[in-house]
Amino acid sequence: MPNLFSLNYYKKRWFEVAVFLILLLGFFLRFYNYEARFALAGDQTRDAIIAQYALKEHKIPATGPFSSAGNFTTGNIWYIWLIGTTSIYPASFLTPWIAMSATYVLIVFLMILIGKEIIDRKFGLILGLLAAASPAQILQSSSLTNPSLVALFSALSIYFLVRYLKTAKNLFLFLFPFSIALAINTHFQAIYLLVLIPLTFIFKKPKLKGVFMAILGLVIPFIPYVLFDLENNRYNSRGIIDYLLYGQYKIYIPNRWLTYASVFFPQLWGKIIGGTNIAGYFLIILSGISITYSIFKRKINKEMALLIVSFLAIFFALRFYRGERFDGYFIFLHPLILILSAFACYVVYKLNKIFGLSIIIVILMLSLNANFETLVRNKGYINLQVNYWNRFLSEKYPGEKLELYGHYSTSESLSLPLALVMYQSNHLADGGHKVGFSNTEQKYVGRFKVITGNEMGFEFWDLNSSSSAELKASGWHSVNPSQVYKTSAEWYKK
């Protein structure tokens, strides 16, 4: 039996101990002050409601959320993941948020494995450290949106790609395109990862069976999407074609090479590692110098060479992307940027350990400093509001089921979180006592009865004496889960 109190025991297992400590850091940075950091935003709670309702009613959405780019939807992988994670502990509406944050701890572990496979254990630890402290990764870990899930599939695709290059096994040649397809299915911005497939074939030519396995892996996740499209008059394919031909040209986005390369990308890089624009510029320059030096010295293996070429190809292709450049749309790039940054640090470390360690420590300190605002911020006010309103309505209508209505004048960023909390508390039911939630507007007075006693802002109205048609004509709409599910996940049904 090993002596756990022996220093020699841990010296022999330095890598395992280091991995544990990095994961511990990653866990702390993603879960510290958690109840104040996660946000009950409109889109996030809408999707959480859909998952809760689908789980209770034994439904599986045929398609995913609408794309912000045009009249087409993503695939249903996002909803399937939400339903699956919600089922772990459906008694709490917070379950999918926690599952998302745990996924980002898993990503740290995957990055360690990727680094270990590409070069060695030390490279894996450097890569894991940068991932654990990444400001962008930590910020996204508490965001329950479909782009956030892309980070997991992107990391998995790179891990399986590297394993294929190492082993030439067809299993990994299947799993690597399969992971890319899951990423694209979740959010279409990840389509740029497709460049990895032909480049992999160039670096390690597969046999005919391997090509078939890769195609199979790429196709399977899209079968439900294609079936949905065929059954609904090619709604998505027509929307995608319309976007490619016309939609993408309707919005002007400054897109000069100089702005793209010298402003946008360094800012993006800095948000992922270091948390400052200066860190982004420094790491881009250091990565360029390290890669050039390694090529000159012939110290780049095929795994690292493939990832460098893939990044450059994506970097070039993204220059011609005409849409808005939200940070969340580039989550698929996080693993590649982390790998390039870690490689730069590793090259310097191999040349001079003290200088290399100094750079790593400075980058980590910058990242931790950037994370401080995220760790101590308080987004919990909405949580306090909706929990108060839930108790308020329970006391006003004890033992009675309610049907919650929102008004067009009131943002769903409040009505949907309230609906989620009330649904999880089993206070909502179709056909229940009709209650309206809105901004304070005097024009309602005399027409609807105000429910008095609310001390947390906004107004509640007793709408029970009005028909659904009358309420619709007055700007009210039901935000009960059945209606949220119908309008968001079954909108195509007449």
* Cβ-Cβ contacts under 8 Å for 151 (sequence gap 6 or more): 103, 104, 107, 137, 140, 331, 332, 334, 335
Summarised one tens digit per residue, pLDDT across range 257-289 is 888 888 899 999 999 999 999 999 999 999 999
pLDDT greater than 70 at residue 1? no
Summarised one tens digit per residue, pLDDT across range 368-424 is 999 988 888 766 677 888 889 999 999 999 989 999 998 877 777 888 999 999 998
Structure letter (DSSP) for residue 273: T
Least confident range from 4-18, 70-84, 140-154, 391-405: namely: 4-18
Summarised one tens digit per residue, pLDDT across range 16-61 is 999 999 999 999 999 998 887 777 777 889 999 999 999 999 999 9
The type of residue at 62 is A
Q: pLDDT above 90 covers what percent of the chain?
A: 65
The answer to whether the beta carbons of residues 334 and 154 sit under 8 Å apart is: yes
* Cβ-Cβ contacts under 8 Å for 183 (sequence gap 6 or more): 150, 153, 154, 157, 190, 193, 332
Write out the two tokens for 386: 């909706």
Residue 243 banded pLDDT, cuts 50, 70, 90: confident
The pLDDT of residue 136 is 94
Q: What is the CA radius of gyration of the chain?
A: 25
CA 410-413-418 angle, to 5 degrees, is 90
**Alpha-carbon distances of 470 from 69, 340, 464, 486, rounded to whole Å:** 34, 60, 11, 20
pLDDT average, residue stretch 343-360: 94
Write out the two tokens for 47: 């999707």
The pLDDT of residue 441 is 62
The answer to whether the beta carbons of residues 133 and 345 sit under 8 Å apart is: no
Global pTM exceeds 0.85:
yes
pLDDT average, residue stretch 118-141: 95
- CA 431/CA 161 separation, integer angstroms: 53
Summarised one tens digit per residue, pLDDT across range 199-238 is 999 999 999 999 999 999 999 999 999 999 999 989 889 9
